[in-house]
Amino acid sequence: MTARLEVLAGVVLGALVVALTLAFGDKALLDVLMRLAIFGLLALSLNILVGYTGLVSFGHAMFFGLGAYSFGLLMQSGAVSIPSAALITLVVACIWGGVVGTFCIRLDDIYFSFLTLAFQMLLYSIIIGWVSLTGGDQGLMGGIPRPPFLGINLAEPRQLFVLIVVVFVVCVLAIRQIVQSPFGFALRMIRDNAERARFLGLPVQRYKLIAFVLSGFFGSVSGILMSLYVSGAYPNFAFWSMSGDAIFMIILGGLTVFLGPLVGAAVFLLLNDNITRLTEHHGIVMGVVLLAIVLGMRKGFLDVLDEWWQARASRAEARAGGDRQ
Amino acid sequence: MTARLAITGLMKRFGGVVATDNVTLDFAPGSLTAIIGPNGAGKTTFFNLITGKLKPDGGEIRLDGVDISGQTQSEIVRRGIGRAFQVASIFPRFTVEDALTAAVLTHRQQTSSMLRRFPLPDAASRAREIMALVGLERVGKTPSRYLSHGDQKLLDIALALALEPKVLLLDEPTAGMGPEERWQMIERVQRLWSEVGMTLVFIEHDMDIVFKIAQTIRVLRYGKVLAEGTPDEIRSNEAVIEAYLGTSLEEPA
């Protein structure tokens, strides 16, 4: 029942955003919303690991980069259609996630984080070094062809916009379903107390690996969307700072509320765009904001709201309980 | 009478120290047994060996006649030996009800589904039964980290119960509690035992509690079984009085 309501809410909201934007919006608004969908999906996919499994990956951008490059290269080869290229890319991402994850999940805490970082930098080095294939630090040049398929022409900005919103909504609903399923609660058990979960008979390592692959799967979807959006792929997609941005978004918005990372992505993009316009020292400003949040609130925006809401509810409950006595 | 849990010649060494020295003990089905002994007597080690957390260096551990020594922790859990910990081991961000539901799902191997919604109604109703059994219904919606110390230990026991164990091992269920809380806890444990009808073994330091509720007492010292018997037999056992209990037993409180 709740699942159906969520699907309904997602579809209605998505349709509303698309309709209003296409009716009244200009090109700039389309751009903002497409970037929000792409980075929001990146942060939400990372939060499967960070927020729900308790595994802080510093290398999540490897899936972003892998998705963008794999898809871009396939399209530039001219041999496959957009859906086939996306499908092949997702299979590649799952294999990469399975192999890399098998090594990473053997480690805990900071060691896990650093190994994910190491694998990401390995991918980055390959992208930079293999100039004949990837164009090195120039990125995939010459644009990514977007031949029409099934009557959809992604070279047309409005159609691209609709596709990105649709894919985004479908992925968000899928992630939501996963984290609210029995599997999702098994991940939370691992986050809270892996030792106890193991003692209850949960195959902890297998579940961590599945979470890692799932997170990478959705991360590479956002990479595919990114390469479609910018019609290219650049090494910074797979650089550590991109992983850092995704973690920053999660911290900003909060990791205990499902949509926290999406709100974080919105705030991040808003800050980033406006600060870049005002000053070239935008790293300093972002750093100060991060410090203020970490030291001041000690949690994300939605975490704060959620706690306020819970406190209110329990006060109301206490009052109701008092009346009954 | 066949024993539910039969331990024969169990050995464990840590370097030169013999932590468990040729321990042979039987636990009858449905029995309530206390294990006592001075600090360092090897009580917790004994539990760790039974549950597979430590591998024995020798001897047998038979559950319903099947030797389980050397099996992994999760295999032994599946076979029906549950355990609560000295320091409550819980899921801090889960509500009591969610934690128990998740534990029931894990036990039933239903956690792999990504297409259904948590909580599955079956598991949730089983979780509420367990809450009622241990007296946690009143805090069902409370996040585990906000529970009192005593309730956290109850939850730990409840998590073990979710596995429907044939044998339940409680490592100091009253550790760190005040006198009043201790008695509440131990009454709950006793009621649980009589209602569920499982074999219950607990480690306890408080002699009043031990003599009040245990059917059988086993005394460990230096990793060996020093004595076993009913509370009355233990009270009057010369070796126990000399080694461990002192003279305070002459006038029980």
Cβ A185–B98 below 8 Å, yes or no? yes
- Least CB-CB distance to A184: which of B78, B118, B159? B118
Contact residues, chain B, for A204 at CB < 8 Å? none
**Residues B22-53 pLDDT 10s:** 889 889 898 999 998 887 788 889 899 998 88
- Mean local confidence (pLDDT), B65-70: 87
Interchain pair A182, B91: CB under 8 A: no
What are the pLDDT digits (tens) for A226-273? 999 999 999 999 999 899 999 989 988 888 888 889 999 998 898 888
Nearest CA in chain A to B142: A314
For residue A293, pLDDT over 80 is answered with: no
Which ipTM score applies to this complex? 0.83
Chain B nearest CA to A61, separation (Å): 25
Nearest chain B CA: its distance from A197 CA (Å): 8
- CB contact (8 A) between residue A186 and residue B105: yes
Question: What percent of chain A has pLDDT above 90?
Answer: 53
Model pLDDT for residues A47-100, shown as the tens digit of each residue: 999 999 999 999 999 999 999 999 999 999 888 999 999 999 999 999 999 999
Report which listed range, A49-53, A298-302, B135-139, is most confident.
A49-53
Give the C-alpha separation, B107 to B79, whole Å.
11
Q: Which of A310-314, B52-56, B65-69, B101-105 has the lowest mean pLDDT?
A: A310-314
Domain shared by B69 and B112, yes or no = no
- Taking the CA atoms of residue B29, residue B32, residue B38 and residue B40 in that order, the dihedral angle to the nearest 10 degrees is 40
Least CB-CB distance to B114: which of A183, A191, A198? A183
Question: Is B94–A200 a contact, with Cβ atoms under 8 angstroms apart?
Answer: no
Does one domain contain both B74 and B169? Answer: yes
Strand order, beta sheet including B66-67: B17-27, B5-14, B58-63, B66-67
Q: Is A195 in contact with B74 (Cβ distance < 8 A)?
A: no
- pLDDT confidence bin for A207, thresholds 50/70/90: very high
Q: Are A185 and B118 within 8 A, CB to CB?
A: yes
Picking from A275, A250, A277, the residue whose alpha carbon sits closest to that of residue A265 is A250
| Interchain proximity B114–A184, CB inside 8 Å | yes
Cα(A152)–Cα(A164) distance, integer angstroms? 12
Do B171 and B246 fall within a single domain? yes
Mean pLDDT of B146-155: 89
| Same domain flag for B74 and B132 | no
Q: Which of A177, A186, A199 sits opposite B102 (nearest CB)?
A: A186
In this predicted structure, the answer to whether residue A322 has a pLDDT above a threshold of 60 is: no
| Strand B216-221, strand B224-229: pairing | antiparallel
Among B77, B113, B115, select the one facing A199 at the smallest CB separation.
Answer: B77
Q: Does B90 touch chain A (CB under 8 A)?
A: yes
CB A158 within 8 Å of CB A30: yes
Asked if residue B243 and residue B189 are part of one domain, the reply reads yes
Last residue of a domain, one of B133, B148, B163: B163
B89, B91, B113 member nearest A183 (Cβ) = B113
b (16+ CB within 10 A) / e for A134-151: bbeeebbeeebebeeeee
Mutation test of the interface with chain B: which of A52, A53, A189, choosing the one with the most B Cβ atoms within 10 A? A189
Return the structure tokens found at A57: 């990956």
**A315: confidence class by pLDDT, cuts 50, 70, 90:** low
Residue B1 in this model has a pLDDT that exceeds 70: no
Of B115, B132, B163, the residue at which a domain comes to its end is B163
**How close does chain B come to A191, measured CA to CA in Å?**
9
Over residues B107-135, the mean pLDDT reads: 90
In a domain, B219, yes or no: yes
What is the number of CB-based contacts under 8 A between chain A and chain B? 90
B123 and B248 part of one domain = no
Q: What is the pLDDT of residues A149-165, one digit of tens each?
A: 888 888 888 889 999 99
Task: Identify whether residues B250 and B174 lie together within a single domain.
Answer: yes
Lowest mean pLDDT among A228-242, A268-282, B82-96, B209-223: A268-282
Q: Do the Cβ atoms of A181 and B113 come within 8 Å?
A: yes
Query: How far B73 CA lies from chain A's nearest CA (Å)?
Result: 7
User: Average pLDDT of A217-222?
Assistant: 97
Q: Are residues B112 and B158 in the same domain?
A: yes
Partners of B11 in beta bridges: B58
Residues 181-240 of B with CB under 8 A from A: none
Q: B116 contacts in A (CB within 8 Å)?
A: 181-182
What is the least distance, in Å, from the CA of B214 to any CA of chain A?
27
Highest mean pLDDT of the ranges A4-18, A124-138, A213-227, B82-96:
A213-227
- Give a yes or no: residue B86 inside a domain: no
Are the CB atoms for A62 and A97 separated by under 8 Å? no
Q: Contacts of residue A201 in chain B, CB cutoff 8 Å?
A: 74, 77-78, 106-107, 109, 163
Q: What is the pLDDT of residue A65?
A: 96
At A210, the amino acid letter reads I
Residue A3 has pLDDT above 80, yes or no: no
State whether B54 and B100 are in the same domain. no
Interface contact flag, B120 A182, Cβ < 8 Å: yes
* pTM of the entire predicted model: 0.86
In which region does residue B203 sit, left (phi positive, over 0), alpha (psi from -120 to 50) or beta (all else)?
A: beta
Q: Is a pLDDT exceeding 80 seen at residue B252?
A: no
Instruction: Average the pLDDT over B117-128 and give the result.
Output: 92
Nearest to A244 by CA among A50, A70, A54: A50
- State the pLDDT at residue A265: 93
Q: Partners of B34 in the beta sheet?
A: B202, B217
The count of structural domains within chain B is: 2
pLDDT over 50 (residue B253): no
Rounded to whole angstroms, how far apart are CA atoms B249 and B232? 11
User: In the prediction, which pLDDT does B167 show?
Assistant: 92
Chain A touched by B120 (CB under 8 Å): yes
Task: Determine the residue of chain A that is closest to B124 in CA distance.
Answer: A182
CA distance B237 to B228: 9
Same domain, B118 and B158: yes
The answer to whether residue B247 sits within a structural domain is yes
* B134 and B216 co-located in one domain: no
Name the residue facing A188 among B94, B110, B114 (closest C-beta): B94
B144 with B175, same domain: the answer is no
Q: How far apart are CA A219 and CA A247, in angstroms?
A: 13
Of the partner residues B78, B83, B91, the one whose CB lies closest to the CB of residue A201: B78
| Whole-number Å distance between alpha carbons of B4 and A114 | 48
Confidence of residue B250 (pLDDT cuts 50, 70, 90): very low
Give the pLDDT of residue A92: 97
Better-predicted residue by pLDDT, A299 or B55:
B55
Q: What CATH number is given to the structural domain containing B179?
A: 3.40.50.300
Q: Domain segments of chain A: what residues?
A: 2-239
Q: Is the residue at B85 inside a domain?
A: no
Tell me which residue range forms the domain holding B73.
Answer: 1-80+165-253
The whole-number pLDDT of residue A313 equals 67
Nearest-CA distance from B1 to chain A in Å? 31
The highest-confidence range among A184-193, A280-289, B195-204, B208-217, by mean pLDDT, is A184-193
State yes or no: pLDDT of B245 exceeds 80: no
pLDDT for A323 equals: 40
CA distances from A85 to A66, A140, A145, A153 (A): 13, 16, 12, 16
Residue to test with chain B: of A173, A180, A193, most B Cβ within 10 A: A193
Residue-level pLDDT at B85: 82
What's the whole-number mean pLDDT along residues A155-182?
A: 93
The whole-chain average pLDDT of chain A stands at: 88
pLDDT band at A172 (very low <50, low <70, confident <90, very high): very high
